[in-house]
Amino acid sequence: MSLMYEELLSSEKALSRVLSTNKAVTEEIARQAKSKAIQSIVTVARGTSNNAAAFFKYICEQNNGLMVSRFNHSVTTILGSTPIMTNSLVIGISQSGASTDTIKVMQKALDSGALTVAVTNDKSSPLAKMCDYHLYLNCGEEKSVAATKTFTLQLAVLELLARALCGDVAPDFESIRVDLNALTLRLDELKALASKTKDIDNMLILSRGSMLCVADEMSLKLIETCYKMSRSYSVAEFAHGPYALIDKERTVILLAPDGAYKNDFIAIAERIAGDGGKIISFTDIPKVKALSRYSFNMPQSTVSQIYLYTLAIQAYAAFLSEVSGINPDMPRGLAKVTITL
């Protein structure tokens, strides 16, 4: 069993510590944001952490109306420019808390008078120590190069913060934990799916809404742990040009939870299947399942949805790597902490 697989399973237990570790801190951040009349939120992150930031952006704009932007590091680290962030809440997200480019940007944010928050898995890290507030993932050291449990916990603490900023109640992490535990009992089904699909390459991954960040993360995981070329798109964006890729040789992975985008998922599945494309779906929508060549039956849950799909795509990638004869814990050319500017 890979470290990647062991660690993705451990995220369920870590969720039980989110509230005790971070609830008071998120409430204080929300009070400070209100006191300082914060007008915008900026996230600073790379890789998996940037995918978690995309989830935060979506739910924050949906629930409290504050605009959230994702910072382009090189504007500061290479070009030497620093946008005005005085009335902003700036959130640096880094599992290790040691990403040099994120640290440099956060220092500029501090210098400009921004309210700063670090999201890390290391309380003693440079990023955690330099910011006004620290949200601690508290999920134990992650040894696998591919981030799994830290991504799940980033989603959790960022959802907690988003809820605090709009004065909403905290997520029910106990219910989420129970739902995740139930899904772990079915992961052998994903191993079987991985065995059936191990020879497929050049995959497109489609979703929409808050689930798009999971599609982005799935693409990253398939690339770094399975060496599979993949590209993620919003279902809506895909129709604007990339749809030209669809033919009888193309495989599309569709992350399609029931909910607000149900009709969009059904429509794209019907169109792809009608044009000869092959669909692998992770869904609880019967119509989408029927149109798929392979389908993993996802549990129905509004509260736990993002976490359930995250666990499923992480496990699928870990199994796909294994059945492809690749060690997901040692992806070629990669290290746990990546130094970029």
Q: Walk me through the domains of the chain, giving residue ranges and CATH numbers.
A: 3-170 (3.40.50.10490), 176-323 (3.40.50.10490)
% residues pLDDT > 90 (the chain): 84
CA distance 155 to 28: 19
Can you give the pLDDT at residue 334?
A: 58
The 10 Å Cβ neighbour count of residue 185 is 8
pTM of this structure: 0.95
Residue 336 pLDDT greater than 60, yes or no: no
Instruction: Taking the CA atoms of 303, 179, 143 and 145 in sequence, report the sign of the dihedral they define.
Output: negative
In degrees, rounded to 5, the angle at the alpha carbon of residue 84 between the alpha carbons of residues 82 and 87 is: 145
> At 149, which amino acid appears?
K
User: pLDDT digits over 40-74, tens only?
Assistant: 999 999 999 999 999 999 999 998 878 899 988 88
- Calculate the average pLDDT of the chain: 94
Instruction: Tokens for 105, please give them.
Output: 């940007």
User: pLDDT digits over 226-263, tens only?
Assistant: 999 999 999 999 988 899 999 998 999 999 999 999 99
Question: What region, left, alpha or beta, does residue 101 occupy, with left being phi > 0 and alpha being psi -120 to 50 degrees?
Answer: alpha
% residues pLDDT > 70 (the chain): 97
Can you give the pLDDT at residue 64?
A: 81
Can you give the pLDDT at residue 338?
A: 60
Q: Which residues contact 213 (CB under 8 A, 6 or more apart)?
A: 51, 52, 54, 55, 58
Chain centre distance of CA 154? 8
**Is 21 in contact with 126 (CB distance < 8 Å)?**
no
Residue 186 pLDDT greater than 60, yes or no: yes
Can you give the pLDDT at residue 150?
A: 97
Residue 148 pLDDT greater than 70, yes or no: yes
Rounded to a whole number, what is the distance in angstroms from the first to the last CA of the chain?
35
Residue 335 pLDDT greater than 80, yes or no: no
In degrees, rounded to 5, the angle at the alpha carbon of residue 107 between the alpha carbons of residues 105 and 108 is: 65
Instruction: Tokens for 288, please give them.
Output: 């989408």
**Is 131 in contact with 114 (CB distance < 8 Å)?**
no
Residue 19 pLDDT greater than 80, yes or no: yes
**Residue 187 host element (H or E):** helix 187-197
